[in-house]
Amino acid sequence: MEYRKIKDQDKDEESLGDDLESLRGKPPSTAMSLGAGPVDRTKWKRKSMVTLALTVLTSSQAILIVWSKRAGKYEYSVTTANFLVETLKCAFSLAALARIWNSEGVTEDNRLSTTLDEVIVYPIPAALYLVKNLLQYYIFAYVDAPGYQILKNLNIISTGVLYRIILKKKLSEIQWAAFVLLCAGCTTAQLNSNSDRVLQTPFQGWMMAIVMALLSGFAGVYTEAIIKKRPSRNINVQNFWLYIFGMVFNAVAIVVQDFDAVMNKGFFHGYSFITVLMILNHALSGIAVSMVMKYADNIVKVYSTSVAMLLTAVVSVFLFGFHLSLAFFLGSTVVSVSIYLHSIGKLQR
């Protein structure tokens, strides 16, 4: 993966609002219009590349999970794996920065040192994800695992709503319609004979699912806000600080949840080749998510991961002999129309 530096004009630490305002002044959609300049083309290309990377990585992530489940149980501790993912992301960010420092020298935008003002918001997404992951243990008292997969699609709606409220970016009427369709389409594609059980979810289960969707949506939107606060700031520096806090929070999770197991059986107990692949994939996916936040937005991220879900199912047909259901075809159709409407809605804005 290649990391490039964005040549941004604004070198000052502006307020979040102003900065997002200025970003909105140069909508990415112009890149697709006729007579777009080379800068717009480069931006559009970069946006497409990171989106494609995220889609492929997310899809292969799901395939690795299916593969590992088929190979046997999870023998390793998930918390150590998560910690390693964050560490690896930190290492990748530092390596990319080293290359940049070599070629461009250390500047205001790519130096690692930071101010308290800049760094103080960075732990927030990691903290939100931690709370969400803790809630995840409790929601299974009310919903089974397939039901949880279905309820997770509420993330799509919560991300859209929080994107509108927090980042103050507008979606057109058609784009809102497209977003509702994306949620309905993804859920439809995942339907199976047991899906109706989710309708029996008790009130507490629904509440927790909604809170988790809001936490996850808020974490995503907040990460975008942090990363876009200083558009000229090098993404690898921003990633480095995000991931450092990710490491800290996951270290806490190891101590709280798996201290005994790690002490008795060792940090790497139960690791296999596929575990290493999954950690590597998660790390790259995480970096791709940051890139999409920087060069595109949460809406693109949601579409990208939704397409990845469909892609996974299609690839699984060839790899594992899975069968595609009628619901999958219908859901995919709705998702495809949603993507089309989203792009149409942008042009008509």
> Rounded to an integer, what distance in angstroms lies between the CA atom of residue 162 and that of residue 219?
10
Residues 280-309 that bind its own copies (CB under 8 A): none
How distant is the alpha carbon of residue 176 from its chain centre? 20
Among 185, 217, 231, 286, the residue binding its own copies under the rule CB under 8 A is: 185
Choose one: 43-51, 91-99, 155-163, 331-339; the region binding its own copies (CB under 8 A).
Answer: 331-339
Q: If we measure between CA atoms, which residue out of 217, 242, 291 comes closest to residue 118?
A: 242
184 binding its own copies? (CB under 8 A): yes
Choose one: 11-19, 56-64, 195-203, 268-276; the region binding its own copies (CB under 8 A).
Answer: 195-203
Choose one: 73-81, 216-224, 304-312, 322-330; the region binding its own copies (CB under 8 A).
Answer: 322-330
3-state SS, residue 265: helix
Among 54, 84, 96, 150, the residue binding its own copies under the rule CB under 8 A is: 150
- Scanning 112-234, the segments in alpha helix (DSSP H) are 116-119, 123-139, 145-151, 154-166, 173-189, 203-229
Cβ distance 56 to 238 under 8 Å? no
Question: What would the x/- binding string for its own copies be over residues 154 to 183, using CB under 8 A?
Answer: -------------------xx--x--xx--
138 binding its own copies? (CB under 8 A): no
> Rounded to an integer, what distance in angstroms lies between the CA atom of residue 119 and that of residue 51?
26
Distances 11 to 110, 170, 179, 207, 331 between C-alpha atoms, Å: 12, 26, 35, 43, 45
Cβ distance 83 to 284 under 8 Å? no
Choose one: 23-31, 78-86, 218-226, 340-348; the region binding its own copies (CB under 8 A).
Answer: 340-348
3-state SS, residue 136: helix
Nearer to its own copies, 116 or 326 (CB): 326
- For 187, phi then psi, to 5°, come to -65, -45
Q: How far is the CB of 180 from its own copies (least distance, A)?
A: 6
Q: How far is the CB of 225 from its own copies (least distance, A)?
A: 29
Residues 109-128 that bind its own copies (CB under 8 A): none
22 binding its own copies? (CB under 8 A): no
Site of interaction with its own copies (CB under 8 A): 150, 173-174, 177, 180-181, 184-185, 187-188, 191, 193, 195-196, 198-199, 323-327, 330-331, 333-334, 337, 340-341, 344, 348
